[in-house]
Structures are given as structure tokens and as C-alpha cells.
Amino acid sequence: MSPACHPVDDAIAFGPFHLFPEQQLLLEAGKPVRLGSRALEILVALVERPGEIVSKMELVARVWPNTIVVEGNLKVHIAALRKALGDGRDGNQYLVNVPGRGYKFVAPVVHPKRPAPLLPMLGAYPHTCHIPSPLTRILGRKDIVETIINKLSESRIVTIVGPGGIGKTTVALAVAAKLVASKKDGGGFVDLAPFADHLLVPSALATMLGVAVRSDNPIPSLIAFLAGKQMLIVLDSCEHVIAAVAVMASELLEGIAGLHILATSREPLRVAGESVQRLPPLKTPASSDGLTAAEALTFPSIQLFVERTSERIGAFRLTDMDAPLIADICRKLDGNPLAIELAAARVDAFGIRGVATQLNDRFRLLTSGWRNAPPRHQTLMVTLDWSYDFLPEIERVILRRLGIFVGYFDLEAASKVAASGAVTLWDILSGVANLVDKSLVSADVGSTVARYRLLDTTAAYARKQLVDHGEFEQLARSHVEYYLGLLERADALATLQRDEDWSIAYGDHIDNVRAALDWAFSLSGDPVIGVSLTIAAVSLWLQFSLMSECRRRVNLALESMKCGPNGGRRQEMQLLNALGVALYSVGPSPESRTVWTKVLEIAEELGDIDYQLRALWGLWFVCVTGSNHRSGLSLAKQFSILAAKTTDPLALFIGERLIGTSLYFLGEQRGARRHFNLMLSHPISASTRAQIVRFQFDQSVAGRAFLSRILWLQGFPDQAMHEAEGSAADAQALRHSLSLCYALGQAACPIALLAGDMTAAQRNVSMLLEHSVRHELPLWQMFQWNGEVQEWRSQLRIAPAW
């Protein structure tokens, strides 16, 4: 931006420098000096009282109000200030330390109306220029600035749209800085935030341009003044007076051919010829796992956090230890620049870990914005209040009710949960659409069904509003009832949907299910409905291989049943069955036998053959992992006999696998192969999801995996490799990590090692460790790569004879 665009009446000059306190700007020979906000504030405090001693206590109180800081912080910023001024170089002296008392500014100071170093530049730009400089350096927006510049070359009005604090004004100023010099008559900037009266909008523009207004309608005077001119007008913060801005913009563009308008708003103006540019969050790492400092600094959100922290703590450097924490902070703050700056401003008080810990109460934490920023940008709460307060009442109600959702929701969920009382279904449909327009709700219309979410900061604000209005408990109950019904319907429709369709349809709901369970088992919740929802959610955890989560949630539900009258024997059986399945992934334990024995006892008591089969499968697994293979064979045969009394093809299919596996471990490879061939020669009609819900894995994957082991022992290495790799490939195609870990751990890894194919072995072991660690599956983490074939021979229990 040209220095010509800076006001000059408030300048303070000393040496080659010009200080503009209101703009928080320091120029040296007409060029901006890079200086942190706190160092700049110290300079202003000293320059305002030249020749006087300003005590350390005064400086600390001014720069760090309401905060306890050590004297070292002040010394760091004084040192940065001296370095920026070149204090002590070439005989220049600006600051003097008075030991035990404070600091004194000793250079001569003048207050020129037109600072001499700026006069040549002012003369070089004869056009009008009322574009302020951005308060801070822009990060991560280079491409979008160029996009908006290109749009303004094609459209005479562009509106930058986005939620509060996303950086709309900063981007608009960056665009204006690049374009204003190309406009013959310069540009102008109008901050509309202070104007609550729609009638004052044209007057605000007239005042900025210096146009005398002699009627109630300033627009004709504006058109007459701007006629024939080529200008860029920036209209900032239009959302609360958007109708008046739209009318004024339309009339100005129609009457002035050389006018371009760049607006910022939480929603589009909706005028003819408008091009809308939605401003996305700053890019943030999707995951913090293993993130290094170097990798973190490639993301603009983290660059911003680090830069703002460094301005306050001069010695701050990003480390590999802090990088994942800062990435988590930026992600939780939705990549919102204002929220990130506010968080960085608290690091000097709480440290990185302290800020990360206190983000749950972000509205108390994020309250230390720039003093010269607009009031609506000085705390996160005020920023969101600004958006909320200007909504129509019905949209306020809908927004706070949508705050009950965590992550994505669809219109069905919104209407079922949020529509009640005076809020109708139609109110929800139109309200969600309006809130999307106003950047308070994000929409993803690329899926089969449109889905929506509130950014985390907006959702936290909406939930606070729910609590403040006494509506949270009512909405929480509606929320848990909706997701219980949804999952119960999902189970009923399971056989009618393809596995991938089921995952797509219900996978997005898992965060809401978690939130519903958290409320149900809270002190103010309803554990009875919580037990039912836990049972309904088991299929979701199994489908996505979330076994540790399943175990924790099921144990909580079982404890709840012990403490109250809710539930009965069937629910206890269902929960114990889920616990037994989850324990499989932990590895052998005495608890597993106890759990499966109890499931079998209740299933026999209720005459439930399905759960008897599940319990026999679980007890068989306990025997196999405990090397009790004779008992395992007995249970496998018991399973097959019971399965034969049903019309359940899946149970018959699994019976062959259980017997074949037990025979394999007993060294009877010929009989084992016969059972696996019989099993795999009859395709299963049950969906993979039905197999997973009842018996944890895709059974064809498991069958091929064990067949490969038998083939190896019988002397058919090529066939063994084919079945092992095929089993893993089938599991990958299913996108089911539990089945994939089974195929890799039981077959693909050991067979590749035994065959001496180190490339395949390394690939398979890496894949096994990746999935087992990601999904917290300790059983499969036991299979670790060390290059020693002998360990895998032990796992395979190679017999001395076929």
C-alpha cells in the first residue's frame, strides 16, 4: 500500500521515523518498519512523553493490562524496539534505561502536519485515497487475493463473504492496496460497522468522499460527484445494514460506469452483477500425529499463531514438541484468523499447553484482541454476538438449537430435533438456508444428501445460548431420541443396503451419537435411553473398527445398569456380547471367558439361538488364543450342530471355518483344508456388515487367510501367497480395518516372510501396524516387524509332518 494512503495529521516524527499511533504504524524513510504490537505500544507510550521517565510499572500496566508478567517480558520488547530503531548505531540514541526507575525517550520529537518524507509520495498520487493499511501482515491469502482481483476485472461488484473473524476486511484491504494505484481517481474505504441506521449508509460514504449532502437522499449527490471518475470503493461490514447497502450499490453502479465496489459481509448483497467470494478458513493440518515444526510451518494457520506469539514473546520458537499442540489449537478454532490471534495473545500468560487445555472455555480465554481493532474483533464472544444480535428472532432460535449437533447433520435431523413450539418445519428449512447465506452454517452439497455443520466456535457459542435460554436439556433429549431412532432404523434396513451405502449414510452421524451418549450418561441425562443408544451404536463402532471406544461405552452402560432399574436380561446380554467382541481386539484375557460364558447363559435362558451362536464363537476364540485346541474343536462342533438346526447360512458357513481352524492348529491339515474348501465353495449371501455385526470379520476374508496357511504347510507356496494377498486385497476393498488386520496378521505378513519376499513383507507389516495403531487394536500390534522368520514360524505353529 502506498504511504499516501496513511493519515498524516497524527504523525510524530523523530530522526528518519514517522510514528502514527492511531494506525499502529511506524515508517522509516517512508517504508513500514516490522515491529510487534507490544513493542510498538511501548514506543507510543515513551514518545508521548519525550524526555520524561516512564516507570516500568506504568509500561507493564499499559501493555499487559490485567495480566501478571515478569520484568523479563518488558526487557525483551525494549530490546526488539531498540533493534528496530537502530538505537546506538551511527551515534543515534532514542531510548535510555534509568536503572531502578524506568525508560526515557531522548530524541527530539516533532508533530508535523505533513511529514517531509511523505510529501514526494503524496505528490505522486494526485487521486483520492482513503484506504487504510491492514493492521497485520496477511498470511495464506495470496491466491484468494489474486482471485478477487481477477473477479473485479470481470465484475464491477465483488462481495467477500465469510463468518466473523475469518479475515474479510484484511483480504479486502490487501486487494484494494494492489488495485487502487490502477484507478485514475483512487479509492475509498467505509467501515459500516458503527452505523445501525440504514438511512446513514449513503451519508457514511458521502462523508468519506467529502461530498456535501443537502437532501435526505445523498445518493444523487454521490452519483453527481463520482460521475466520470474511475474509483474502487470498499464497503466493509455490510451485514447489519445489507438492504441499504444493496440499494445504494445498485444505484451507484448503474449511474457510474467507472466505479468498482468491493464489499465484505457475512452474506451476499444479492444485487445484479454481483460476484461472491466465500473466504475459507486458513489451512490447518488434518491430523497432528507426528507433525514436526517444519511441516507445521507450511500451514498458514500455524504461521499466524507463531508470528503473533513471537510478537509478544520475542524469544518464542516453534519446536517439534509444540507443533502438534498448536495444530490442535488451530484446528479447534476452525482456522479462524481472529480466534487464532486471540489464542496466541494468551500464550505469554498460560503457555502453549495451557492455551490448549483452556480452549474448552474459549469465550473466557479468547479476550485479548488488539486495542486498535474494531470492538467487535477484540474478543471472540463479542465477534459472535455481533452476528447473533443482528439475526431475526426466528433465526436466533434456530441457530442456538442447531448448536446441539456435533459435526455434520442433515435437514431431516435438523427438522426432527430443532422444530418444536413456534418453530415449524418450514422455519427450519428456510432458516438453515439463510444461516448458510450468512456464513453461520457451513453446507456440503457434494454428498448424496446435503449435510451441514456449525464451525466449532459457532457451535460452542450456540450451545452457550441454549444454556442461557434454559433450552439445552430439552434439545439434548430430542437429540438423543432422534439418533436412537436413526440407528434402530439403520439396523432394520441393514440387509437392504449395500455395505458402502450404509457406511456413507450413517458414518457422518458418529460424532452426534457420541455427544448424545455423553449427555445420556451425564448427571442431568437419562441412562435408560443411554443404554438403548449404546446397544444401537455397536454396529457403528464395529463397522468403523472403533473397538476401544466400543469397550469404554459398553462398560459405562453396564455400570449404569448395575446402579439403576433400567434395562433387562436381553439388554445385558446384548451389551455383554458387544463387550466380548471388543475384548477380542485387546488379546487373550480371563475377562473374555467370563463375559462369553455369561452371554451363553442368558442366551440359553432366553432361548435366543443367534446369541448362543455368538457366545460359542467367543468361547471358541478364547480357547484358540489360549492354545486349548481340543476344547476349541469341541466348541466348533457344538457351534456347527446348533447352526444346523437353523436356516442361517452364515452360521453354517462359520461353523466350517471354526472346525477347519481348530484342525489346523491340531496339525490335521488335510481335514482342515477340506472344511475351508467346503466353506469357500458356497458364497455367503449375508452382507459384510451383517457378518461384522455378528462375528466381527468378513468371513470370506478370514477363510482365505487361514486357507493360505494350510496351503503353505502342505507345500503349495505359490497358492498360499495367492490366497494370502487375495485375502488382504479383499479386506482393503471392503474398507474394514478389523478384517484387514486379520488378513494381514494371520496370513499376508507371515506368508510373505516365510516365502522370503521382504518387499511384500515390509509393505504388509507397515500396513498392519498403521491400521492397528490408528484403531487402537493391541492384539494386532503384537505382530511387529523385526525381520526374523523364526518368530512367524512360531505364530504359524508349523508341524513336523503334513
Mean pLDDT of 502-521: 83
Q: Looking at per-residue confidence, does 153 or 366 come out higher? A: 153
* Strand 128-130, strand 157-161: pairing: unpaired
387 has a pLDDT exceeding 60? yes
pLDDT band at 286 (very low <50, low <70, confident <90, very high): confident
Distances (CA, A) of 137 to 11, 134, 369, 378, 414: 21, 7, 16, 18, 40
| Sequence-distant contacts of 767-775: CB under 8 A, at least 24 apart | 767/728, 767/740, 768/741, 768/744, 771/545, 771/737, 771/740, 771/741, 771/744, 772/741, 774/737, 775/545, 775/546, 775/547, 775/548, 775/585, 775/737, 775/738, 775/741
Q: Which residue has the cell 463520482?
A: 226
**Per-residue model confidence (pLDDT) at position 364:** 62
C-alpha cell at 499: 455395505
Q: Residue 697, SS3?
A: coil
Q: Residue 698's pLDDT band (boundaries 50, 70, 90)?
A: confident
pLDDT of residue 740: 82
Query: Averaged over 438-463, what is the pLDDT?
Result: 84
Give the model's confidence band at 8: pLDDT under 50 very low, under 70 low, under 90 confident, else very high: very low
Cell numbers that stand for 672 in this block: 482342515
Distance of alpha carbon 440 from alpha carbon 277, whole angstroms: 16
- The DSSP secondary structure of 114-171, one letter per residue, reads S-GGGHHHHHH--SEEE-PPPSS---S-HHHHHHHHHHHHH-SEEEEE--TTSSHHHH
Q: What is the pLDDT of residues 557-589, one digit of tens each?
A: 999 988 765 558 999 999 999 999 888 776 667
Q: What is the predicted pLDDT for the residue at 130?
A: 64
Q: Is the pLDDT of residue 124 over 90?
A: no
Q: Name the DSSP letter for residue 783.
A: S
Which range, of 1-5, 222-226, 329-333, 662-666, averages the lowest pLDDT? 1-5
**pLDDT band of 522, cuts 50, 70, 90:** very high
The predicted model gives 680-707 an average pLDDT of: 71
Task: Sort 364 into a burial class: Cβ within 10 Å, 0-12 / 13-18 / 19+.
Answer: exposed
Which one, of 207, 138, 140, 206, lies nearest residue 174 by Cα?
A: 138
Q: Above 90 in pLDDT, residue 603?
A: yes
Phi-psi region of 444 (alpha: psi -120 to 50; beta: other; left: phi over 0): beta
Mean pLDDT value of segment 633-652: 87
Rounded-to-integer distance, Cα 152 and Cα 456, Å: 32
Neighbouring C-alpha atoms within 13 Å toward the C-beta of 469: 17
Q: Could you tell me which of 325, 314, 286 has the C-alpha nearest to residue 72?
A: 314
Q: Are strands 186-191 and 231-236 parallel, antiparallel or unpaired?
A: parallel
Q: Evaluate if residue 159 carries a pLDDT over 90.
A: yes
Report the pLDDT value the prediction gives residue 431, as an integer from 0 to 100: 92
**Residues above pLDDT 70, as percent of the chain:** 83
Rounded to 5°, the CA angle 462-468-470 comes to 105
pLDDT digits (tens, 9 = 90+) for 94-118: 888 888 788 998 888 777 644 333 3
Assign 71 a pLDDT band (cuts: 50, 70, 90). Answer: low
Show the cell assigned to 9. Answer: 495529521
Mean pLDDT, rounded, of the chain: 82
In the predicted structure, residue 771 carries a pLDDT above the cut 50: yes
What pLDDT is recorded for position 791?
A: 45
Contact 209, 252 (CB under 8 A): no
Q: What percentage of the chain reaches a pLDDT higher than 90?
A: 32
Answer whether residue 792 shows pLDDT above 50.
no
Tell me what pLDDT residue 733 has.
83
Q: Any idea what DSSP says for residue 184?
A: T
pLDDT at residue number 557: 94
Where is pLDDT greater, at 149 or 314? 149
222-270 pLDDT, tens per residue? 998 899 999 999 999 899 899 999 999 999 999 999 999 999 999 999 9
pLDDT bin (cut points 50, 70, 90) of residue 213 is low
pLDDT value for 497: 46
**C-alpha cell read off for 662:** 481348530
Give the single-character DSSP code of 409.
Answer: B
Predicted confidence (pLDDT) at residue 676 exceeds the cutoff of 60: yes
Distance CA 381, CA 459 (A): 12
Tell me what the mean pLDDT of segment 617-646 comes to. 89
Whole-prediction pTM: 0.69
